[in-house]
Structure 1
Amino acid sequence: MTYGYIGSMRTRSGRRDDVVAILLSAAGSLRELGCRSYVVGLAADDPDTIVVTEVWESKEHHDASLRSPGAKEAIAAAMPMLTGEFTSRETTVVGGLGV
């Protein structure tokens, strides 16, 4: 079953663009790991919140991607710029444009 993940993270003031750059730099290699869609967005109501929407072949593909050296490196680089305020929602993707 196709797996969806929607998460948000709050950055320290003034660090949003730095975290966005880290997130986008990793996007190029995700397709080969089983990612169908990876969208990084900015919250309209909060200048420090980033929302990431992902669609994966499976939850196992998503979980494996987080163990990759590139993901570990990106997470380590971003963590000092985050406040620790996160939200997440797992979904079962049933269709739509782009999936």
Structure 2
Amino acid sequence: MSKYSMLGQLIAHPGKRDELAGLMLESAETLQGMEGCIFYIINESVDEPDVLWITELWETEEAHAASLKNEGVLAVIQRCRPLIAGVKPVKLRPLGGKGM
């Protein structure tokens, strides 16, 4: 399987998770119809009040890289930066399963 997947943990500054989530949801709208994006899901941690998890699945790693050059995505990233205290990306290679 040649798909590309990422999990990204975004740690918001204390009390800023909801604001960050709102901006991240805007980026999800920007990705609607973007070539190569299969899914992009914003999740909030149940146990950590300042943590968001981003779940992404792309046709290829190149499609993901291209999304990071999109003007709309770049604009959202710039707006999110002041709210983010830390980022922990995890690159994955999907093997299969429901929804693939």
**Structure 1 length as normaliser, TM-score?**
0.91
- C-alpha separation between the residues in 2 aligned to 1:80 and 1:68? 20
Given candidates 39, 61, 64, the residue that maps to 1:62 is 64
SS in 1 for 2:5: strand
| More displaced 10-residue stretch of structure 1: 89-98 or 4-13 | 89-98
- Measure how far apart 1:89 and its partner are: 1.0
Rounded Cα–Cα distance in structure 2 between residues aligned with 1:97 and 1:29: 25
Give the aligned partner of residue 14 of structure 1: 15
1:48 corresponds to which residue?
50
Contact (CA 8 Å) 1:37, 1:98: kept in 2 or not?
no
Mapping for residues 76-91 of structure 1, pairs under 5 Å? 76-83=78-85, 85-91=86-92
CA deviations on 1:37-60 (whole Å, 9 max, x unpaired) are 111111122100000010000000
Residue 94 of structure 1: SS of its match in structure 2? coil
What amino acid does structure 1 have at the position aligned with 2:27?
A
Number of residue-to-residue matches in the alignment? 98
Structure 2 counterpart of 1:75: 77
Amino acid at match of 1:32: M
Query: Contact 2:30–2:73 at 8 Å: present in 1 too?
Result: no
What is the match of residue 37 of structure 2?
Answer: 35
How far apart in 2 are the matches of 1:90 and 1:66?
Answer: 15
Identical-residue share of aligned pairs (%): 30
Stretches of structure 1 that go unaligned for 5 or more consecutive residues are none
CA distance in 2, matches of 1:11, 1:38: 19
Gaps of at least 5 residues in structure 2 are: none
Deviation at 1:32, TM superposition (A): 2.1
Q: TM-score, normalised by structure 2?
A: 0.90
